[in-house]
Amino acid sequence: MPLSQLTLRPAALSDADACRTLSAAVGWPHRREDWEFALSLGRGFVVGSATEMVGVGLWWGFGATHASLGSIIVAPGWQGRGVGKLLVDRLIAATDGRTLGLVATPQGEALYARYGFVAIDEVRQHQGDWPELPAPVIGPNESMRPAAAADLPVLAGLDREATGLPRAPVLEGLLSRGHAVLLERDGAPSGFGFLRRHGRGWLIGPVAAVDDAAACNLIAALLAGRRGDFVRIDVPARSGLGAWLGERGLPLVASAVEMARGAAPVVPGPAHRFALVSQAIG
Ligand SMILES: CC(C)(COP(=O)(O)OP(=O)(O)OC[C@H]1O[C@@H](n2cnc3c(N)ncnc32)[C@H](O)[C@@H]1OP(=O)(O)O)[C@@H](O)C(=O)NCCC(=O)NCCS
């Protein structure tokens, strides 16, 4: 079938099932609920023939100046025929001049480079069977507790320190889907971490914290005292968490390139990003 017989339209929440079929066809583990989460927070396009969905691409806006692109998939039987380019063309037009970020699979990297995306970091996917970790060691000047909806402004503030982006709606969506913990040191918010169901099991992320010790304690707190089967975490290479995760039974299984098109956001700190929401959202 020629490309001209395909139609492109805005993606809707009701596309979640067809998106799950598409992602399974390229070996991605996303469940319908994972697509519903992505679709509920973002916008995008689906491409279809009369009988099936053959492509999807989404974007998430962070204020008026930044956005991320992700969940870009073309059905294996349609790859190499221009559907990917069609989707990226439309996504870039829809994002209205924003600076764009994405995490590229090896398959997608060449396509994005063509649109001026340049590599800025590497994202490392660690995963494995749920490790049995000792409870975190909380210092006398620290406290850690579950985060609740009322903590959203604090979480969004730390997240903005770590990413430079206003992402309160994403964190709000996450709060209703999983567990979150908040660390205070000397009475000041010093880090948070989220855990939710995703794909084959559970996903840790995002995690933002003022230093390595805080990030490791947050991850240990999310894992200890709960039971699960499989757990995954996507960490920026520069976070330096890889060795710690590997020693705890979450080995590196894949890497992807983080890319940006336009001036990357200014990351004010002092909190740093230690784990992504997902490779799609960043
Ligand atoms: C990446 C992907 C979306 C590209 O979609 P596509 O419809 O195959 O891409 P297009 O046909 O529009 O090709 C776009 C350009 O990328 C190139 N390209 C496509 N697949 C490629 C591959 N596997 N290796 C190298 N280049 C490739 C094409 O040659 C084309 O360049 P050209 O104009 O010079 O010919 C698709 O391969 C896919 O769904 N892969 C699996 C899921 C995935 O990894 N998604 C990316 C997430 S970031």
Compute the distance from residue 74 Cα to the ligand 1 centre, in Å. 8
pLDDT given for residue 227 in this prediction: 83
Q: How many CA atoms lie within 13 A of 99 on its CB side?
A: 14
H helix runs in the chain, sequence order: 16-25, 32-41, 83-94, 109-114, 152-163, 168-175, 212-223, 242-247
Q: For residues 272 and 15, what is the distance between their CA atoms, to the nearest angstrom?
A: 34
Q: For residues 205 and 19, what is the distance between their CA atoms, to the nearest angstrom?
A: 22
Ligand 1 contacts CB of residue 27 (under 6 A): no
Minimum-distance ligand 1 atom for the alpha carbon of 85: 12
The residue whose CA is least distant from atom 20 of ligand 1 is 80
Q: For residues 44 and 252, what is the distance between their CA atoms, to the nearest angstrom?
A: 31
Pocket test for ligand 1, best of 45, 59, 74, 111 (most atoms within 8 A of CB): 111
Torsion of CA 103, 107, 109, 111, to 10 degrees: -120
Interhelix angle 152-163/168-175, rounded to 10 degrees, is 130
Minimum-distance ligand 1 atom for the alpha carbon of 71: 47
Compute the distance from residue 246 Cα to the ligand 1 centre, in Å. 32
pLDDT given for residue 2 in this prediction: 80
Ligand 1 contacts CB of residue 110 (under 6 A): yes
Q: For residues 238 and 226, what is the distance between their CA atoms, to the nearest angstrom?
A: 28
Q: For residues 212 and 82, what is the distance between their CA atoms, to the nearest angstrom?
A: 43
Question: Cα 81 from chain centroid?
Answer: 28
Domains and CATH numbers, the chain: 3-97 (3.40.630.30), 126-275 (3.40.630.30)
Residues in the chain where the model's pLDDT stays below 70: none
